[in-house]
Structure 1
Amino acid sequence: MCRGSIKIRAIAFALLISAFVSVGEAQEGCSSYGPWFEEQAGCDPCSVSGGTLFRWSQDLSASGGPDLTEPLVTDRPDFTESSSTVGRGVLQLEMGYTYSFDNDGTEQLRSHSYPETLFRYGILADWLELRLDWNYAEEEIRGANPDLLSGGEDLGLGLKVALTPQAGLLPEMALIPQMSVPTGSSAFSDEEVLPGVIWIYSWEVSDRISTAGSSQINRAIDGLSGEAYLEFAQSWAASLSFSEKLGGYCEWYGLIPSSAESVLPEHYFNGGLTYLINNDLQLDIRAGTGLNDAALDYFVGTGISIRMP
């Protein structure tokens, strides 16, 4: 361990994560907890990257975090968020458009979603980013009870914390505590603050293949009863780089309500392509289909992501 006084909060955080981050015997003069703990203890960072909050003790040389010399890493177009942050002082803007359709036999729903804006900005350290997302929606219902709704959705706020780099079979991980705040129009606002959290884990299998998953839990509102319930979401994605500029992915994800009166589980399969204009600019397209009756029949979309170092 590093010599010097170790602050109480560093010890508390180390104990908190010991359940899922192995901490082994450190190298001489170096903490195995990670660069943040070394700084709090008044020690040198031991020549280890500060791109993640913690490090796996099985491989203290493993480094993670953003690399501005490499292509940007985006949270879109799939459901699974990326397990890395953008880097301190870096702004990344991601936005797009989605058209979705559903026919339940009695009514048809056509919806347009745009601009699906996500602002990501690195603050304080490379492993921490501030997140803000906002969207506008239009829904047209055709059938026995036709209706046309449009308006802004509730604002989303959150932080992404890059937890660990990948070390062999041990994944790169990130955590996103988040919440929506009631700023939307009456047609789309939940009219209260709804907190949630996302845990993301990923592996680079080779230079061309990667895989990732996410587990999340969010507070949600049942549109029929107006009562709150918990919504669990699980996803798994696989990505393939066809060339230096062209990539693709396929993914399954499910939305699973708990104790909701009218909301049913929804499962989807989707895939898409990404095209890199340059290291700081990426285009994407995607399409998906519902896997059960409660899910939408299909959706298609496109988007753009821009990194501003």
Structure 2
Amino acid sequence: MPDLSRLAAPILGLAAFLVAECSADAADAPAGTSAPDKSGYTLFNPTPDALMRAFEPERPAKASNPFTVDAGHFQIETDLFNYTHTNSLDAGNQFYETADPTLKLGVTNWMDVEVNFNAYQNSLTHSNLTGALLANGHGFGDTIFKVKVNAFGNDGGAVALGFIPYIKVPSAAPGLGNGVVEGGLIAPLQINLPQDFSLVLQTEFDALKDANDSRRHANFVNLASLTHPLSFISKDLSVTVEFYSAVGTDSATPAVYTFDAGLAYLITPNLQLDVGANFGLTKASPDVNVYTGVSARF
């Protein structure tokens, strides 16, 4: 297993350097640029449209972001189609999903609640030696509940931090899920860099079921995600590239490392289309995952 401390140290060091640099830039910024006071807006007293923050879907790629949905507003983000191919020495798996909507509702100016429904899925596993079907599952997947809390940077500034506790409820059809409750905590840090670059450094802790028994193990996710608009094509088109790692303490659950890339196009200020692909960097990682999706805010 890779040494997690060696992975975390450069990420944390980079984050500290960038936060310091961005804080210095903010200190030199002209006065009078403070964000309006939106603390009084709630689910039952919605934020006026004129005061809503810029539309910030978490799609594409895997990174979350620290920004909550404005109080009293609703957001949906979903795959339209998602395909993953995974190949090991003994078996190959093909996984299809037609939709996995995440519904988000702004409760206060600093918190939203979210639920992710994994809609129709189909998983097929074949033997690489004989071609025989080893496993087949189809139907609806698990359901994930989240609460996102923004610590700072929701309405401006060079740096923003969020915390996202989540719990997965087993609702999957046979052959698709492991049938147990799992959960964890996600912490995305977003840093706005010069030249319109945006960097997300994210760490995550999960409590997951072991592969071969009913015990639980710790899983650690770290990723770095960089986004930039492709202004030479369109100011509304942006590209994201990302490095992702998931390393657990269960010896029967191999680590996953991927390189991810995605394009997002903002059709209107509240509607975005995206397409992306994730590529496995190790034999234990999925070979390729391709998807397309849509995000909308109301």
Which blocks of at least 5 consecutive residues in structure 2 are unaligned?
1-33, 40-48
2:53 & 2:109 partners in 1: Cα distance? 15
Instruction: Give yes or no for contact 1:149–1:187 (8 Å, CA) kept in 2.
Output: yes
- Indicate yes or no: 2:97 matched with 1:119: no
- Indicate yes or no: 2:37 matched with 1:49: yes
Residue number among 219, 230, 234 corresponding to 1:242 in the alignment: 230
- Indicate yes or no: 2:77 matched with 1:94: yes
Amino acid of the residue matched to residue 102 of structure 1? T
Shifted more, 126-135 versus 222-231: the winner is 222-231
Residue number among 46, 62, 78 corresponding to 2:61 in the alignment: 78
TM-score by length of 2: 0.77
Please, what is the CA RMSD of the aligned residues? 2.3
The alpha-carbon deviation at position 70 of structure 1 amounts to 5.8
Instruction: Give yes or no for contact 1:72–1:280 (8 Å, CA) kept in 2.
Output: yes
The alpha-carbon deviation at position 83 of structure 1 amounts to 1.3
Instruction: Give yes or no for contact 1:50–1:127 (8 Å, CA) kept in 2.
Output: no
- The share of aligned pairs that are identical, in percent, is 21
State the secondary structure of the residue aligned to 1:73. Answer: coil
The alpha-carbon deviation at position 293 of structure 1 amounts to 1.1
Aligned to 1:184: 172
State the secondary structure of the residue aligned to 1:115. Answer: coil
State the secondary structure of the residue aligned to 2:292. Answer: strand
Task: Provide, for residues 231-280 of structure 1, a one-character-per-residue CA deviation record: whole Å limited to 9, x for no partner.
Answer: 1111110000113210111001111111x141010100010100111001
2:116 & 2:195 partners in 1: Cα distance? 31
State the secondary structure of the residue aligned to 1:285. Answer: strand
Task: Pick the structure with greater CA Rg.
Answer: 1
State the secondary structure of the residue aligned to 2:99. Answer: strand
Which blocks of at least 5 consecutive residues in structure 1 are unaligned?
1-45, 52-65
Q: How many equivalent residue pairs? A: 246
- Indicate yes or no: 2:278 matched with 1:288: yes
Shifted more, 92-101 versus 159-168: the winner is 159-168
Task: Provide, for residues 152-184 of structure 1, a one-character-per-residue CA deviation record: whole Å limited to 9, x for no partner.
Answer: 22210110001111655xx31000011011222
Shifted more, 151-160 versus 86-95: the winner is 151-160
Map 1:11-160 to 2 at 5 A.
49-50=37-38, 71-96=54-79, 97-123=81-107, 125-136=108-119, 137-143=121-127, 144=130, 145-146=132-133, 147-160=135-148
Residue number among 267, 272, 288 corresponding to 1:298 in the alignment: 288
Residue number among 219, 222, 229 corresponding to 1:231 in the alignment: 219
The alpha-carbon deviation at position 47 of structure 1 amounts to 8.3
Instruction: Give yes or no for contact 1:93–1:305 (8 Å, CA) kept in 2.
Output: yes
The alpha-carbon deviation at position 68 of structure 1 amounts to 5.7
Instruction: Give yes or no for contact 1:154–1:190 (8 Å, CA) kept in 2.
Output: no
2:226 & 2:35 partners in 1: Cα distance? 33
